Copies of this chain bind each other. A is one copy, B any other.
Amino acid sequence: METSSIKTILVTAASILVMVITWHLLALMLGHEYILPTPAETARQMIILVSSAGFWPVVLATIGRGLLGFIISLGLGVILGLVAGFSKAAYWLLQPWVTVVRSTPVMSVIILAIIWFESNLVPVVVTLLILFPIIYGNVVAGIMNINKELLEMARMYKVKTWRIVTELYLPSILPFLLAGASTAMGIAWKVIIAAEILSQPQLGIGTNLMIAKIDFATAQVFAWTVVAIVISFVFEYLIRLIETRLNTWS
């Protein structure tokens, strides 16, 4: 365990190194800081960013929105996914709505979102529109793949429905749910930032990224991007921790 986790860290570090070197070479090749800044320049900008007073409120605002969007998506995805998984009728009732949510371009409804929600919440709503279908789809797939024999057993022994849901369905769909949740969590940051660019809340990585972008402060754009990636890394790690904690039995 000890040595393998050291190995893991080494391999990951090597991979990151290769990525940074690739980035550096590409930046040199392009030769224009305002198109692709070097990693060093980006790092310099990051230090300036992180040490500025406004940094943490901005980051926390985005993290808060991302988490809120994620949690609502998770809740909705699991509950509606279970409902759809349980009943064919519910599935077909929900299907058109899910398709609409899944495929409606954000641009088409952004104005409605701005009218109905305040600009702090718009990114949360937009995030929901992408994360919810990911989680819902995986939950439904998990239920479709449930072990029917276990289900028969539980019914035979007259186990209460809510117990079947929580103690048989939920653990069964866990691998699917975790796959969906970890993908959703990873994509969340990209989506929330895109949505912040659309709704321009006072505080938000997206707002800042956009301002840096129209100013051609590309190193700053990349610095914010690295911040987003780091956030994603951290939450990925958290999800992995939860994953190993939940999966003690196999």
Contacts and interface: CB of A to CB of B under 8 A. Distances in A.
Interface of A: 4, 7-8, 11-12, 14-16, 19, 30, 35-36, 88-89, 92-100, 102-109, 111-112, 115, 129-130, 133-134, 137-138, 140-142, 144-145, 175-176, 178-180, 182-183, 186-187, 189-190, 193-194, 197, 206, 209-210, 213, 221-222, 224-225, 228-229, 231-233, 236
Given A15-B96, A35-B111, 5 more contacts: A12-B93, A15-B94, A19-B100, A35-B112, A99-B229
A contact face: mostly helix, strand, loop, or mixed: helix
A90 B35 CA distance: 31
Contacts of A100: 19, 229
Number of copies: 2
Nearest to A36: B112
Contacts of A225: 104-105, 108-109
13 contacts: A8-B88, A12-B92, A15-B96, A99-B229, A102-B187, A102-B190, A103-B231, A104-B225, A107-B197, A108-B213, A133-B187, A137-B183, A144-B175
Contacts of A7: 89
Contacts of A236: 99
Contacts of A182: 137, 141
Contacts of A189: 103, 105
A10 to B, nearest CB: 9
Contact of A11 (B92, B103, B142): B92
B107 A19 contact: no
